[in-house]
Chains A and B, each alone.
Chain A
Amino acid sequence: MSTIEAFAESLTQSARRFSPRLLLSELLLKQWFEPVVPFTVMIGLWLYFALTIPDYASVQNGLSLLRLFAEFGFVALAMGFCLISGGIDLSVGAIFALCNFAALFFLLVMEWPVGLVVVATLCVGAALGSINGLLIGFLKTRPFLTTLVTLIILRASVNLLNTGYAQVFATNSVDSDAWDFIGTGSVLGVPVNAAALFAVLLICHIFLSRSRYGWHLTAIGASRKAARHAGIRVRLMLFLTYVLSGSLCAASGIFYAARQASTDSTTGVGWEFQALTAVVLGGISLAGGKGTVWRAMIGALIVFLLINGLVRMGIPGYVTSAVTGMILLAAVGIDVKWSKNRGKAIQKIYVNPAYVAFSPAPSVQRGSASPFAQNDRLIHAQAIGLDQVEGPEDVIVDRQGRVYGSTRDGNVIRFSGENLEQREVFAHIGGRPLGMQFDRDENLIVAVAGMGVYGVAPDGRVFKVTDETNRTWYKLNDDSRLRMADDLDIAPDGKIYFSDCTTRYEMTTNTLDILEARPNGRVVCYDPKTRTTRTVINHFYFPNGVCVSHDGQSVLIASTSLCKIFRYWIEGPKKGKTEVLIDELPGNPDNINRASDGNYWLALVGIRTPTFDLSVRKPGFRLRMVKQVPTDEWLAPALNHGCVLKFNERGEALESWWDPTGISHSTLTSMREHKGYLYLGGLENNRIGRIKLDGVDESWTGYDAYWGDKSRVRG
Chain B
Amino acid sequence: MRWPLASRSLAVPETAPRIPFNIPKPNQEQIVLLITIVLLVVFGFTLSGFATVSNLLNLLRSISILGVLGLGMGLIVISRGIDLSQVATLAGCWAIALIEMQRGVPVGAAVLLALAIALLIGVTNGVMVAFVEAPPLFVTLAAGFVIYGLAFWLAPAWVVYAPKDAAGLMFAGAGRLFGVPVPILVFAVSAIAMHLFLSRTSIGRFIYAQGDNPEAARLTGIPLRPLIVLEYALVAFLAWLAGLVWVGTTGSMQMAITQGTMIFDVVLVVVIGGISLIGGRGSVFSVVVGCILIGTLLNAFTIMDVNSEVQNIIKGVVLLAAIVLDNFLHPRDEETARQGD
Q: Which residue of A lies closest to B320 (CB)?
A: A149
Q: A140-B331, A332-B135, A332-B142 are in contact. Are A152 and B261 (CB under 8 A)?
A: yes
A160 touches B309 (CB 8 A): yes
B309 touches A325 (CB 8 A): no
B317-341 interface code vs A (CB 8 A; 1 in, 0 out) = 1011001100110011011111111
Q: Could you say which of A148, A288, A326 has the most chain B C-beta atoms within 10 Å of its C-beta? A: A148
Expressed in whole angstroms, the minimum distance between the Cβ of B307 and any Cβ of chain A is 7
Q: Which residue of B lies closest to A269 (CB)?
A: B259
B267 contacts across to A, CB distance below 8 A:
145
Tell me which of A83, A86, A146, A321 contacts B149 (CB under 8 A): A321
B153 touches A336 (CB 8 A): no
B134 touches A333 (CB 8 A): yes
Task: Indicate whether B216 reaches chain A with its CB closer than 8 angstroms.
Answer: no
Majority-rule SS of B interface residues: helix
Task: Indicate whether B175 reaches chain A with its CB closer than 8 angstroms.
Answer: no
Task: Indicate whether B141 reaches chain A with its CB closer than 8 angstroms.
Answer: yes
Assembled-state Cα–Cα distance A324/B335 (Å): 31
Q: Which residue of A lies closest to B317 (CB)?
A: A153
Assembled-state Cα–Cα distance A304/B320 (Å): 32
Tell me which of A144, A146, A160, A288 contacts B320 (CB under 8 A): A146
A322 touches B316 (CB 8 A): no
Q: A146-B320, A146-B323, A325-B144 are in contact. Are A333 and B128 (CB under 8 A)?
A: yes
Assembled-state Cα–Cα distance A333/B125 (Å): 12
A153 contacts across to B, CB distance below 8 A:
312-313, 316-317, 320
Sorting the interface of chain B by its residue count into under 10, 10 to 19, 20 to 34 or 35 or more gives 35 or more
B148 touches A336 (CB 8 A): no
B310 contacts across to A, CB distance below 8 A:
156, 160
B334 touches A150 (CB 8 A): no
Q: A287-B338, A287-B339, A332-B139 are in contact. Are A325 and B145 (CB under 8 A)?
A: yes
B149 touches A319 (CB 8 A): yes
Q: A160-B310, A228-B335, A322-B153 are in contact. Are A135 and B324 (CB under 8 A)?
A: yes
List residues of B (135-179) whose CB comes within 8 Å of A's CBs. Answer: 135, 137-139, 141-146, 148-150, 152-153, 156
Tell me which of B277, B323, B335, B340 contacts A225 (CB under 8 A): B335
B339 touches A224 (CB 8 A): no
Expressed in whole angstroms, the minimum distance between the Cβ of B72 and any Cβ of chain A is 17
A144 touches B340 (CB 8 A): yes
Q: Could you say which of B313, B328, B332, B337 has the most chain A C-beta atoms within 10 Å of its C-beta? A: B313
Task: Indicate whether A32 reaches chain B with its CB closer than 8 angstroms.
Answer: no
Q: Which residue of B lies closest to A140 (CB)?
A: B334
A329 touches B307 (CB 8 A): no
Tell me which of B313, B324, B339 contacts A141 (CB under 8 A): B324
Task: Indicate whether B264 reaches chain A with its CB closer than 8 angstroms.
Answer: yes
A328 touches B142 (CB 8 A): yes
B156 contacts across to A, CB distance below 8 A:
318
Assembled-state Cα–Cα distance A320/B145 (Å): 9
A298-322 interface code vs B (CB 8 A; 1 in, 0 out) = 0000000000000000001011111
B128 contacts across to A, CB distance below 8 A:
329, 333
B149 touches A286 (CB 8 A): no
Q: A149-B319, A325-B145, A326-B146 are in contact. Are A318 and B340 (CB under 8 A)?
A: no
Expressed in whole angstroms, the minimum distance between the Cβ of B92 and any Cβ of chain A is 11
Assembled-state Cα–Cα distance A235/B334 (Å): 11
Tell me which of B134, B138, B312 contacts A152 (CB under 8 A): B312
Task: Indicate whether B219 reaches chain A with its CB closer than 8 angstroms.
Answer: no
Assembled-state Cα–Cα distance A157/B309 (Å): 7
Task: Indicate whether B195 reaches chain A with its CB closer than 8 angstroms.
Answer: no
List residues of B (277-309) whose CB comes within 8 Å of A's CBs. Answer: 277, 307, 309
B153 contacts across to A, CB distance below 8 A:
318-319, 322
A81-96 interface code vs B (CB 8 A; 1 in, 0 out) = 0010011100000000
A252-291 interface code vs B (CB 8 A; 1 in, 0 out) = 0000000000000000000001001100000000111000
Q: Besides A156-B310, A319-B149, A328-B142, 8 other CB < 8 A contacts?
A: A286-B339, A318-B156, A322-B148, A325-B145, A328-B141, A329-B134, A329-B146, A336-B133
> Which chain A residues have a beta carbon within 8 Å of chain B's beta carbons?
83, 86-88, 135, 139-142, 144-146, 148-150, 152-153, 155-157, 159-160, 224-225, 228, 273, 276-277, 286-288, 316, 318-326, 328-329, 332-333, 336-337, 340
Sample of 19 A–B contacts (CB below 8 Å): A139-B324, A140-B327, A142-B277, A142-B327, A149-B316, A150-B320, A156-B309, A156-B310, A160-B309, A224-B335, A225-B335, A286-B340, A318-B148, A318-B152, A318-B153, A322-B150, A325-B143, A328-B142, A332-B142
Q: Top 10 closest A-B pairs, CB basis? A: A322-B149, A325-B145, A325-B146, A153-B316, A318-B152, A156-B312, A328-B142, A321-B149, A225-B335, A156-B309
